[in-house]
A and B are shown apart, each in its own frame.
Chain A
Amino acid sequence: MILINIFIVKIFFETLNMATVSKLIIKACLKREESLGCHYIEK
């Protein structure tokens, strides 16, 4: 395969990483149902 635009490839991985970490953060937020420290859940 020919490399066309490495910058775009970098954005691909960055975006994939951002989505992956966002998912993990949201899952952790949902799991901790009570507020603690800087995780504040409005009831």
Chain B
Amino acid sequence: MYTDVLIIGGGLASLYTALNIKSDLKITIITKGDLYRCNSSLAQGGIAACIDKEDSYKSHIKDTFIAGNKFNNLQALNMMVKTSKERIDKLIEFGVFFDKYKNGKLKTTMEGGHSNRRILHAGGDITGKVIMDTLISNVKKRSNITVLDNTMAIDLIKNKNICIGAKVLNKKVFNITSKHTVIATGGIGGLFKNTTNTSISTGDGIALAYRAGCNLKNMEFIQFHPTAFYSKEKGKKFLISEAVRGEGAYLKNKFNERFMLKYHKRGELAPRDIVARGIYKELIDNDEECVYLDATHLENSFIKKRFPNIYKKCLENGFDMCNDYIPVIAVEHYFIGGIETDFNGLTNIKNLYACGECANTGVHGANRLASNSLLECITFGYNIAENINNNPYKDKYILDETYNLDNWDFTHYKKKIQCIMDKDVGIVRNKKDLLKAEVKIEDILNDFNKHFYSKDFF
């Protein structure tokens, strides 16, 4: 199978890139599940952009730089912030309806680490879903875009240092050759027992890129979201948006104390890493299983209108946000490291791009500021599209081999990896545990090599 542009992944980075590519290019999007099942759809709080007269680029850059521990790529960050209004305008052009006041002005909210109200939101607290639903309907209208659901890329195909497509798996294994390939496979939440990600976020794009020889960067930076709803059930935890704290909710321990003021002058609105570690410390010190989010002092009608989705989900789990404290813990949320790219989303392999959570553009530094992730997707998605539009690539490779595979059973390894990562590579790490974890993971990889990977199934 041949396509001009192959996009691996089906979240915001993928769709925004596809929709900005010229309509005379044939685009194929492959997704492991379907377009409705991605982390972008789960984004609640919103998307940060400097659109208000009272806000400034300087302030957004400064906030991102502080949250990122001054480890950010300032050039990339400058570019992202300064083009944010144009990228948002494009989303509006695609039909995304952000929440507005009666006078038509876009509503903005506050979140941790931001010094101004610059977070746009949609549907109250379902911003990601509103954006994704709108872009999916745009994609469906575009005859040059084909979406292959339940299709997973298993390796990239290279000719010297040029990427010419990928081996993919659906009902069989086959090659898709392409002039340009974009990896937009999202995060790594599946590596952990507790995560806010969809279960299909298993770091596939990063592993593909690594096997193909891509440079990876800042792999140690994993963000843990401070407030995921706590339940004894393991697995995916639903998120209680940072915007709830942004609108005034408090974090309290079992003694009913607002503990975050002990750790940071911004209290509940300190950067996420500080809040996550504050919660971790409270749990250890007080031998607690969770801490509590208290929004009971906020107006009931405001809570229901501003956070309809969170309110409903809490209620389904037996907690009324208007009257009850919500049990929360910090869980894996966002991968900051990833495939190293330049401003155009290009990797060190020719014609191979990476975008979104799987990429490391440098904008987030060592810790991502809330609501900058969707902005990064559309900023670099647009740049990738422009680069593809302006760089027609003439060679066309056709590889029409197809493959079938044998059946093996190795399902127990997934849980093993999740246990290791949760226990030894979590919010607080130490060298001894990391070394132990390294040995355990090497053992698993050796098993793969010994038993399966050396088999010639490609």
Contact = CB atoms under 8 A, between A and B. Distances in A.
A16 B407 contact: no
B219 A42 contact: no
A26 B203 contact: no
SS class of chain A's interface: helix, strand, loop or mixed? helix
Contact of A38 (B169, B206, B219, B221): B221
Given A11-B411, A24-B216, A29-B434, A6 B169 contact: yes
B203 A18 contact: yes
B292 to A, nearest CB: 23
Interface string B420-458: 110011011111001101100110110010001100010
Interface stretch (B56-64, B86-94, B269-277, B348-356): B269-277
B337 A1 contact: no
A41 B417 contact: no
A20 B434 contact: no
Contacts of A39: 220-222, 366, 429
B103 interface: no
Nearest to A37: B366
B317 interface: no
B191 A18 contact: yes
B172 interface: yes
B356 to A, nearest CB: 15
Nearest to A4: B407
Interface residues of A, number: 40
Given A15-B413, A22-B420, A5 B407 contact: yes
Nearest to A10: B152
Interface centre among B170, B211, B413 (most CB of A within 10 A): B413
A27 to B, nearest CB: 7
A25 to B, nearest CB: 5
Contacts of A28: 218-220, 337
B207 interface: yes
A9 B407 contact: yes
Contact of B204 (A14, A25, A29, A41): A14
Contacts of B232: none
B417 A18 contact: yes
Nearest to B203: A21
Given A4-B407, A17-B204, A11 B414 contact: yes
B452 A37 contact: no
A12 B68 CA distance: 35
Contact of A33 (B172, B409, B414, B431): B431
Given A22-B417, A26-B441, A38 B272 contact: yes
B372 interface: no
Contacts of B404: 1-3
Interface of B: 32, 68-69, 71, 152, 154, 169-172, 188, 190-191, 202-204, 206-208, 210-211, 216, 218-224, 272-273, 276-277, 336-337, 365-367, 404-411, 413-414, 417, 420-421, 424-425, 427-431, 434-435, 437-438, 441-442, 444-445, 448, 452-453, 457
Given A3-B171, A4-B407, 10 more contacts: A1-B406, A6-B170, A8-B407, A18-B417, A19-B441, A22-B441, A25-B188, A25-B191, A36-B366, A40-B277
12 contacts: A6-B171, A6-B172, A15-B411, A15-B414, A21-B203, A22-B420, A23-B441, A24-B219, A30-B435, A33-B431, A36-B366, A42-B430
Interface of A: 1-6, 8-33, 36-43
**Closest A-B pairs by Cβ, 6 of them:** A37-B366, A4-B407, A21-B203, A17-B207, A28-B219, A37-B367
